[in-house]
Amino acid sequence: MTSGGIRRSFTAWATLALASFGGVAHADPEPYQLNMSRGVTTWSQVPYDLNNISLGVCVVIGILVFGAMFIAMFRFRKSRGAVAEKWSHNTTIEVVWTTIPVIILITLAYLATGGLTSWANTTGSQMTIKITGYQWKWRYDYIDYLGKPISKVGFMSKLDEQSNATRQLGSGMDPYAVKVGDEHTYLLNVDKPLVVPIDTKIRFVITGGDVIHSWWVPALGWKVDAIPGIINAAWANIKVPGTYRGQCALLCGQDHGFMPIVLVAKSKTDFAKWLAAQEAQSAPATAPATAPAPASTAAAPASAQTAAAPATAKQG
């Protein structure tokens, strides 16, 4: 290899290692990915930072402990003439190596507690989306946005056709061929993604329709279980527009591995356009005289599409 070639291959390896370990905001998982990514929300760096800090602490402790072991295995070998010492206890050192770990743990606990309390606070949300897990697909219902209820924007979201055909036993089809542009999306794509605006605190209310599922988009930094009979809540405020992919994260039956999640985050203007189109789509299907009963609990009942509604239509 030429010297230039060595330098180039070293650079390539270093880049790969850095990219693998660095917190680049991947939309997808990357091959040989070594670490989680920082995510794209105002909170998602919390798990990322805790992961890196705790890993660092563990690596240091590991070097000290395993280092001592390897030194001992070399120095205190009978074949090297080592003679065993007689001592077998030392209260002082026991106290020291009990106290130091406690201090390290208190530090980690302090960092983690702050991150947890900020996550738990869903107040002040500007949007609510209801997520329901089913065997084996998700349902998304838009409840309200910027103080106004959204009616009849809800849909099922299931594994895309190409992935579904490819994953059949003995299909002979190539998972690497399932792509959207350059992205490999095998088992990470759906027919109808969840579309949301950026720079908006979105409250997700999550439940299950049959068995327990779990809704997880790594780019948001959290997962929450979708449990029948319970409504869990979580929030996210996405900063970067893009497409974010996730999966069901709790064993829910035979197709647990085949009910992915796709979240498309658009600018607020683009989202408003999308939402209006969705509402327009669902409105003409019902006669204007019929009062749609919105699922939302928002106060203002007026909705944009009852254009020519006669006075008889009463919303409630």
Partner 1 sequence: MSYAATHDQHDDHHGAPKGFFQRWCMSTNHKDIGTLYLIFALTMFFIGGSFAMAIRAELFQPGMQLMQPYFFNEMLTLHALVMIFGAVMPAFVGLGNWMIPMMIGAPDMALPRMNNLSFWILPFAFLLMLSTLFLPGGSIAGGWTMLPPLSLQTNALAYTVFAIHLMGISSIMGAINIIATILNLRAPGMDLLKMPVFVWSWLITAFLLIAVMPVLAGAVTMLLTDKYFGTSFFNAAGGGDPVLYQHIFWFFGHPEVYIMILPGFGIISEVIPTFARKPIFGYKAMVFAIASIAFLSFIVWAHHMFTVGLPLGAEIFFMYATMLIAVPTGVKVFNWVATMWGSSMTFETPMLFAIAFVILFTIGGFSGLMLALVPADFQYHDTYFVVAHFHYVLVTGAIFAIISATYYWIPKWTGNMYSEFWGKMHFWNSVVWVNVLFFPQHFLGLAGMPRRIPDYNVAFANFNMISSIGGFLFGASQLIFLGVLIHCAFFSKNKATDRVWEGAKGLEWTIPSPAPHHTFDVPPVIHDEELAHGNVNA
The nearer residue to partner 1, 13 or 76, going by C-beta atoms, is 76
Give the DSSP H/E element, type plus range, for residue 264. Answer: strand 261-266
Contact between residue 176 and residue 186 where contact means Cβ atoms under 8 Å apart: yes
In angstroms, the CA 195 to CA 188 distance is 16
Among 138, 142, 145, 222, binds partner 1 (CB under 8 A): 222
> Is residue 227 part of the contact set for partner 1 (CB under 8 A)?
yes
Q: Which phi and psi (to 5°) does residue 261 adopt?
A: -130, 135
> Is residue 92 part of the contact set for partner 1 (CB under 8 A)?
no
Q: Which residues contact 242 (CB under 8 A, 6 or more apart)?
A: 27, 40, 264, 265
> How far apart are the two ends of the chain, measured CA to CA in Å?
77
Tokens of 119: 């996550």
Residues from 20 through 49 that contact partner 1 (CB under 8 A): 28-36, 46-47
> Is residue 128 part of the contact set for partner 1 (CB under 8 A)?
no
State the minimum distance, in angstroms, from the CB of residue 20 to partner 1.
8
Among 7, 10, 22, 62, binds partner 1 (CB under 8 A): 62
Among 153, 223, 236, 275, binds partner 1 (CB under 8 A): 223
- Stretch of 1-9, 87-95, 191-199, 278-286 lying at the interface with partner 1 (CB under 8 A): 87-95
Among 2, 4, 5, 88, binds partner 1 (CB under 8 A): 88
How many residues sit close enough to partner 1 to count as binding (CB under 8 A)?
A: 98
In angstroms, the CA 259 to CA 83 distance is 62
Residues forming a β-bridge with 203: 128, 235
> Is residue 63 part of the contact set for partner 1 (CB under 8 A)?
no
> Is residue 256 part of the contact set for partner 1 (CB under 8 A)?
yes
What SS3 state is found at 208? strand
Residues from 164 through 203 that contact partner 1 (CB under 8 A): 166-171, 173-176, 184-188
Among 16, 25, 27, 112, binds partner 1 (CB under 8 A): 112
State the minimum distance, in angstroms, from the CB of residue 264 to partner 1.
18
Binding mask 285-304 for partner 1 (x = CB under 8 A): --------------------
Of 39, 6, 4, 15, whose CA–CA distance to 217 is shortest?
A: 39
What SS3 state is found at 274? helix
> Is residue 147 part of the contact set for partner 1 (CB under 8 A)?
no
Peptide bond preceding 97 in cis form (omega within 30 of 0)? no
Among 14, 147, 161, 228, binds partner 1 (CB under 8 A): 228
> Is residue 229 part of the contact set for partner 1 (CB under 8 A)?
yes
Q: Which residues contact 58 (CB under 8 A, 6 or more apart)?
A: none
Please, what is the Cα angle at 246 between 245 and 249, to 5 degrees? 175
State the minimum distance, in angstroms, from the CB of residue 140 to partner 1.
19
- Stretch of 137-145, 193-201, 225-233, 263-271 lying at the interface with partner 1 (CB under 8 A): 225-233
Please, what is the Cα angle at 254 between 251 and 259, to 5 degrees? 70
Q: What is the largest CA-CA distance in the chain?
A: 102
The nearer residue to partner 1, 240 or 272, going by C-beta atoms, is 240
The nearer residue to partner 1, 250 or 313, going by C-beta atoms, is 250
Of 224, 228, 221, whose CA–CA distance to 249 is shortest?
A: 224
State the minimum distance, in angstroms, from the CB of residue 215 to partner 1.
10
Among 17, 24, 108, 293, binds partner 1 (CB under 8 A): 108
